[in-house]
Chain A
Amino acid sequence: MSLGNSPSFVREHTTPEHRPRLAAAGSAATLAVPLNDGGTAQSGAHRRASLHWAGFNAVIAWGVLAAVTLIWPNKPAGFEDWAYTQELGILGGAIAAVWAVLALAASAGTSRLRWLNRATGVFRLAAPWLIVFPLLITAWEILTAKLGILEPPFFAPPSGLIDVYANDTARLADSALNSLILLLKGVAWGATVGFAIGVSIGWSRAINYWVHPLLRFLGPLPPTALLPITFFFFPSSHSASVFLIALATGFPVAILSWSGVAAVNKAYYDVARTMGASSAFLIFRVAIPAALPQVFVGLFMGLGSSFVVLIVAEMLGVKSGLGWYLTWAQGYASYTNMYGALILMTLIFSGLISLLFAVRDRVLVWQKGTVKW
């Protein structure tokens, strides 16, 4: 064996050993191909023309929703008829028509239009849901408006929701906006302060000595228990709520940032120190990046508990927001409005969680392929 040390010698020996690994990394992309089409079209693996049954079943299911809503008369409920019944039927029919186009496109095989391929790809993936969802809506419409088994005012048909969104738009939008502002203020404060506290008690023994017992003692106290006191001490219910939401977010973020920093492999510090790293470098370039996966776990937990505090605070003291809207709707016994607000709330909160997931995937891109959650 020669001791040749030209780069080409070395490379010859490294490439084969690396290849399977890269192939493994690439396989994620390969798996994604059926969803995104373009790759398939080029690699020659064209989808053959064949009837896309699930797609046509979705068309039928939405057609059923439209037909039931339009043809079957509503049961009189002691007041004028449910509004927007016809609109619901037309909406169902229109959606069925869109699915019909996509089902035909999916049956025709791979198209030359990229956007159409992408759309049929998503449609294929979503088809089972697109069958079940309209059937559930239909059942709901039948139980409420058609048969009247679930009676007003506690229950409302889906068309009632359209009524709420169409006629109470301003109040709902205003409530949603105020909730978002309050939530983001609190979460931003809580995440920032919690992160700073967590990192410093993970890093410094002195800070740990003083702050850790406080955190352990006060942390488990539910922020909602502090509501009456904070409303009394703070100048406004808004600032009191920001504080409580920050508290709810900050506790898990602090605990997990701390454990993340404390768990950093000590060898990382040795490596950086022998290369001339300063303390600031060790904190910002070693400890914090190494702890980030844990920090994100804390952020997810903190965001979750911030929702609880937000809604409770708005129900009890704040004079705007979706939590307030809920109590307001209850006061007027307009349960349909309440359902409308609940659905809006679900969309906003799940949207925020998805947003955090997207940020996490961007920031922790290096974890791809090592961690799945």
Chain B
Amino acid sequence: MVKLAVVRTDSDLEHTLLSGASHINISRVSHSFDNSRDGRLDVLQDVSLDIAPGEFVALLGPSGCGKSTLLRLVAGLETATQGTITQDGHPVTAPDPSRIVVFQDPTLFPWRTVWDNVALGLQAQGILKAEKSRVDAALQKVGLQDFAKSWPHQLSGGMAQRVALARALVNNPKLLILDEPLGKLDSLTRIEMQSELVSLWRKNGFSVLLVTHDVEEALILAQRVVIFSQRPAKIISEIVVDRPYPRHRDDPTLTGFRHEVLNQLGLGKNW
């Protein structure tokens, strides 16, 4: 299932500058792990997906199905057993700061202050001295400029995840890869962070690939929700969420979508 036409459903989308966004093409990707005990473990099966520049796509599926593996492949942390992944036409072979992952755990470096954590990418690329102001700007974006000198252990879960977000944003990514970034937050912080994510995306204009197993979260955030099967994961179907932002949880269209998605996942009766 390759979608080439961009579904630009969002009429009030602020960003028009899409030069900062990547076009990602995942073409017939299969992946398996060599497991010495059970032989090969197939995780992904013939997955094809196209993410238009600036598009927000959510991947939804049962936990352990292999969505996160797909993210690692897109990030370049691993190479697919079969198939190709391209970024703006170039094959993805290694990690690159234009595609940044935010993981479920903030994975802040505990030996670095908040500021130094956010500066990580610029330092790794050797441009920190020249680009210091980008660190302050990234902290400003997530509202943590006052905590630049704090240590990670002094932060709450929500704040730590915000720092992780700032650490990603400082690299000016063209694709933001989110691996259940809000999965471990309490529900109130989660709602707050969801709206922050939407506004950051709309301001910065990068493409977003989000893995989640929260149906509501996927519908609130994404323009397109792609539903995966059990392992080995293949795409079952996708839903274009044709609703303007900001979205509201009680929107009847979203509620309808939600029912449909749960049906697809075989949970319709439990709703």
Binding site for B on A (CB under 8 A): 1-3, 5, 7, 9-11, 13-14, 17-18, 21-22, 25, 265, 267-268, 270-278, 281, 285-286, 289-290, 292, 364, 366-370
Contacts and interface: CB of A to CB of B under 8 A. Distances in A.
Given A276-B125, A369-B153, A369-B154, A271 B101 contact: yes
**Interface pairs A-B: 7 shortest CB-CB:** A10-B143, A275-B121, A5-B199, A3-B246, A277-B124, A276-B97, A274-B95
A134 to B, nearest CB: 44
A366 B149 CA distance: 11
Contacts of B109: 268, 286, 289-290
Contact of B195 (A1, A17, A21, A290): A1
B85 to A, nearest CB: 15
Contacts of B191: 1
A283 to B, nearest CB: 12
Interface string B147-191: 100111111101100100001000100000000000000000101
A217 B234 CA distance: 50
Given A13-B192, A21-B156, A370 B146 contact: no
Contacts of A22: 150, 154
A3 B101 contact: no
Nearest to B117: A271
Contact of A271 (B107, B123, B162): B107
A296 to B, nearest CB: 13
A18 B147 contact: yes
Contacts of A277: 124
Given A5-B199, A21-B155, A267 B107 contact: yes
B192 A275 contact: no
Contacts of B195: 1, 3, 5
Contacts of B97: 274-276
A366 B189 CA distance: 26
A366 B95 contact: no
Interface of B: 75-77, 95-97, 99-101, 103, 105, 107, 109-113, 120-121, 123-125, 140, 142-147, 150-156, 158-159, 162, 167, 171, 189, 191-192, 195-196, 198-200, 203, 245-246
A5 B109 CA distance: 27
Contacts of A7: 140, 143, 145
18 contacts: A3-B246, A5-B195, A5-B200, A5-B203, A7-B140, A17-B189, A18-B155, A21-B156, A270-B101, A270-B107, A274-B76, A274-B96, A274-B97, A274-B99, A274-B101, A275-B124, A278-B124, A364-B111
Nearest to B162: A14
Contacts of B203: 5
Given A9-B143, A285-B124, 13 more contacts: A2-B246, A5-B199, A10-B143, A11-B146, A14-B144, A271-B103, A272-B124, A274-B97, A274-B99, A275-B125, A289-B111, A366-B112, A366-B151
Contact of A3 (B77, B125, B189, B198): B198
A18 B101 contact: no
Contacts of B167: 271, 275
B144 to A, nearest CB: 7
A262 B75 CA distance: 24
Given A272-B124, A275-B97, A276-B95, A3 B199 contact: yes
Contacts of B246: 2-3
B33 to A, nearest CB: 15
A281 B97 CA distance: 15
A5 to B, nearest CB: 4
A18 B158 CA distance: 10
Contacts of A285: 123-124
Contacts of A18: 147, 155-156, 159
Nearest to B104: A267
Contacts of B155: 18, 21
Contacts of B101: 270-271, 274
B209 to A, nearest CB: 13
A289 B156 CA distance: 23
A238 B152 CA distance: 47
Nearest to B145: A7
B122 to A, nearest CB: 8
A14 B103 contact: no
A364 B199 CA distance: 37
A21 B154 contact: yes
A267 B107 CA distance: 7
Nearest to B192: A13
A270 B154 contact: no
B171 A275 contact: yes
A10 B246 CA distance: 16
A368 B152 CA distance: 11
